[in-house]
Structure 1
């Protein structure tokens, strides 16, 4: 039986691409999100994958760009539904938010088929995602510097939480943020439909980060093998998990010098960064309030007083 998504339609053992219509531009041109269907030769589970719900987060698209050509539907059991670019309007202008309605797309789920531009896109993509047994929503840390991680956003009391953690371990990049996310995230509403959902945040970059993209491709193939889409054994290795974040701003204006590298263990009182004037004179020093892992930083060194500088993942364990 053929599998369809938008105008893409593939018989068992085949692959097709097409467009998922979500509205029109200001001149009346149809807006169609690029989609792909990989219909396995054998029946099995359905995996839904999407990327670029934030228009400047491109590593996920890089993953899809590398991953899809490597999957042979003739060797696949089950099916894979892919939306390559969710936030169509933001992608066109390389911005984070949808410029049509000034909305962060990953706060618009489950969407509204008769709502704003972002709500309509969210509704169309969520309708596709709800057909799946597993959901992977590919992100990155925008233009910040950050470790490669997977986020589980349903909260530890959710009935699907354990299954989401299993999916995160199967993806296997090494770090997991296990913290309930804001309303409107796909990784929040997918579990409410009983579907294990993860939100890989694949580093941070201006453009593509090939190292993070490679990890994402490997992660998707690990998922395919662990859940039986492809032959092969995948062991679940322990992941380092953080359940909270401490964010740090600058005590003064100037230039930042980091004293920790991404992924470093942090102890209370450790110096995270210093701020100097343009001539190297020390103006301020910021230390850690809690033990954790140096998780994320701004990319550019110049800061104003109170401006965001870095984050430390806290409440850390292994699971």
Structure 2
């Protein structure tokens, strides 16, 4: 029998429920939506969560497509899912938890007696603590970004190669292999001995069907490759970036991008121009290094020093 919150499933069963993480201001229980799919056959355990940032909805789109397709009769092992992790932020369509103004993916492994975000992190990390693999589904917030997977444990970590393999199996085509900030689940998981990746499924307002499909395909790639489902996965070479160059605007005005997301750039190539409201050119910004045009702001208007775009650098194929 596998239990996650109020969801409980014996071998060959599926159940949904709620994982209590405290109470709201009116005293009502706050329960995250959870699901357990317990296969008829023994096998590994996969933990999946989505929307630890409340406005990153593509992962929720992945969950709602994947879970109905999981048949316990065909599954070896079990899949545990937290469908909406940062529920307070999700309910108000914000990135950070509004109760404590915290970015959830900086609170892991959490604290059972801590702030709202720390308690949610603790509850969800406890649900994942005996898993064999962790998928933490994200997107590039509401900015524009390529579909990629992040390996955040650091290249000298003892689990680095296993996390990199998991990223390759997920298979978006692009991987950022760069040590992440403290408090990320994709760092806490490997520190606890669990290969963990952070798929960043594009970036949009609402959700994006193409990015959601990347996520659905990625989850099923993982389920098949690691023996939860029968079949074979043909992994493809991934383009890996190990660093980021971030660019702000040297002036205020309106941005015109000169390259497309995912495009290769060379040092000295023009990335964007900034004009005034009448089209007069005020500034031209070029790439510092060779790389891949990775991420951009969504809105064209910028102030001096405001973030505009990122280029993935130190690129190779693995």
User: Which TM-score band applies after superposition, normalised by the shorter structure?
Assistant: over 0.9
Question: Could you say which residue in structure 2 is the equivalent of 1:72?
Answer: 71
**Whole-angstrom distance in 2 between the partners of 1:131 and 1:249:** 42
Shift of 1:70: 1.0
| Cα deviation, residue 88, structure 1 | 1.1
| Mapped partners of 1:312, 1:142: distance in 2 | 17
Counterparts of 1:71 and 1:276 in 2: how far apart (Å)? Answer: 51
In structure 2, the partner of 1:300 is: 299
Q: Secondary structure at the match of 2:52?
A: coil
What is the Cα deviation at residue 13 of structure 1? 1.4
Question: How far 1:68 moved relative to its partner?
Answer: 0.5
**Residue matched to 2:59:** 60
Match of 1:21 in 2: 20
What is the CA-CA distance between 1:86 and the residue it aligns to?
Answer: 0.7
Please report how far the alpha carbon of residue 198 of structure 1 lies from its aligned counterpart in structure 2 after TM superposition. 0.2
* Residue number in structure 1 paired with 2:189: 190
Structure-1 residue corresponding to 2:157: 158
State the secondary structure of the residue aligned to 2:216: helix
Q: Which residue of 2 aligns with 1:87?
A: 86
Paired position in structure 1 for 2:201: 202
CA distance in 2, matches of 1:136, 1:3: 19
Distance 1:312 1:74 in 2: 45
Aligned twin of 2:271: 272
Instruction: Name the structure 2 match of 1:126.
Output: 125
Deviation at 1:10, TM superposition (A): 1.0
* Alignment-derived partner of residue 253 in structure 1: 252
User: Could you say what secondary structure the match of 1:244 adopts?
Assistant: strand
Counterpart-to-counterpart distance in 2, 1:30 and 1:55: 19
CA displacement at 1:12 relative to structure 2: 1.2
Distance 2:261 2:128 in 1: 33
Pairing 1:213-252 to 2, within 5 Å after superposition: 213-252=212-251
> What is the RMSD of the two structures over their aligned residues, measured on CA atoms?
0.5
Matched residues in 1 for 2:117 and 2:250: separation? 37
| Structure 2 residue 96 is matched with structure 1 residue 97 | yes
**TM-score (structure 2 length as normaliser):** 0.99
CA–CA separation in structure 2 for the residues paired with 1:5 and 1:183: 26
CA distance in structure 2 between the partners assigned to 1:276 and 1:24 by the alignment? 49
Q: Distance in 2 between matches of 1:291 and 1:104?
A: 31
For residues 216-271 of structure 1, give each alpha carbon's deviation from its aligned partner in whole angstroms, at most 9, with x where no partner exists. Answer: 00000000000000011002211000000000011111111000100000100000
Q: What is residue 290 of structure 2 aligned with on the other side?
A: 291
Partners of 2:54 and 2:71 lie apart in 1 by 29
Offset, 1:159: 0.3
Q: How many pairs were matched up?
A: 318
Q: Secondary structure at the match of 2:254?
A: strand
Distance 2:116 2:169 in 1: 34
Unmatched 5+ stretches in structure 1: none
Output the CA distance in 2 between the equivalents of 1:67 and 1:283.
48
Distance 2:212 2:70 in 1: 16
TM-score (norm 1): 0.99
Q: How big is each residue's C-alpha offset from its partner over 1:49-70, in whole Å with a ceiling of 9 and x where there is no partner?
A: 0011001000000000111111
1: distance between equivalents of 2:97 and 2:46? 26
Gap runs ≥5 in structure 2: none
Deviation at 1:171, TM superposition (A): 0.2
Q: Any runs of at least 4 consecutive aligned residues in structure 1 with deviations exceeding 2 A, and if so which?
A: none
- Aligned pairs (5 A) from 1:17-56: 17-56=16-55
Alignment partners' CA distance in 2, 1:124 and 1:161: 25
